[in-house]
Amino acid sequence: MPTQLTVRLDDDLADRLARQARRLHLKRSDVVRLALRRLLEGDADGGERGRPVDRVRHLLGSLDSGQSNLAERHREAVLEVLRRGR
Chain segment 3-60, per-residue pLDDT in tens: 999 999 999 999 999 999 999 999 999 999 999 998 888 655 555 556 788 778 777 7
* Global confidence as pTM: 0.51
Sorted by sequence, the CB contacts under 8 Å of residue 34 that are 6+ apart come out as 26
Q: How far apart are CA 17 and CA 27, in angstroms?
A: 10
Chain segment 48-59, per-residue pLDDT in tens: 556 788 778 777
How does residue 62 score in pLDDT terms, banded at 50, 70 and 90? low
With contact defined as beta carbons under 8 Å apart, do 55 and 61 qualify?
no
